[in-house]
Amino acid sequence: MLVKASFEKREGEKLTFTPIFMEAVARALKQHPMMNISVDGDNVIVKKNINIGMAVALADGNLIVPVIKNADLLNLVGMTKVINDLANRSRNNALKPEEIQDGTYTVTNVGSFGSIMGTPIINQPQVGILALGAIRKVPAVIETPDGDYIGVRHKMFLSHSYDHRIVNGALGGAFVKTVADILENWDLNREI
């Protein structure tokens, strides 16, 4: 809570998990550029820019997917500001047409509704989408040099759907593992 309060005081923005997740996805897309592609008929188009679509729930129960353009170039402060702005303007019906175009990969947060996992549908012509489940405290086996024990840990399911015409299981699995590794190895001493 201390980090969130100091961040909001310093930046004038609320810090949530979403920018952290989006940063992880942007980094993973950079490491796995064949997830950052689209299909046009028989052509596969490798995208230079990493433009992440972010599903935003609207009051009427519908979704809209604004796009975080060049997400890989944003630091955490910049990512937070862009996400908060796009989410707020989505809910107020104030997006411009170009702000919902040119996504190269999409993320949806089913956890915001309490769901632990979901089966997201690919936003074609993109080839992948990641659903973030609810973060829950669960029992987990903790391995130590002195032996294993059971402890309480925060866990979240990542559900990854991808177009098997283009993306095989090795790439799809490696991508989502990279996202998980980035999140699990978050530097607690990182300057935010």
**Residues forming the active site:** 108, 164
* Rounded Cα–Cα distance for residues 187 and 175 (Å): 20
* Rounded Cα–Cα distance for residues 126 and 142 (Å): 37
In the Cβ-directed half-sphere of 75, how many Cα atoms lie within 13 Å?
A: 5
* Rounded Cα–Cα distance for residues 117 and 134 (Å): 7
Instruction: Supply the angle between the helices 2-11 and 76-91 in degrees, to the nearest 10.
Output: 80
* Rounded Cα–Cα distance for residues 164 and 189 (Å): 39
Tokens read off for 182: 């980035």
- The total number of residues written for the chain in this structure: 192
Contact 67, 102 (CB under 8 A): yes
Closest CA to 21 of 169, 170, 132: 132
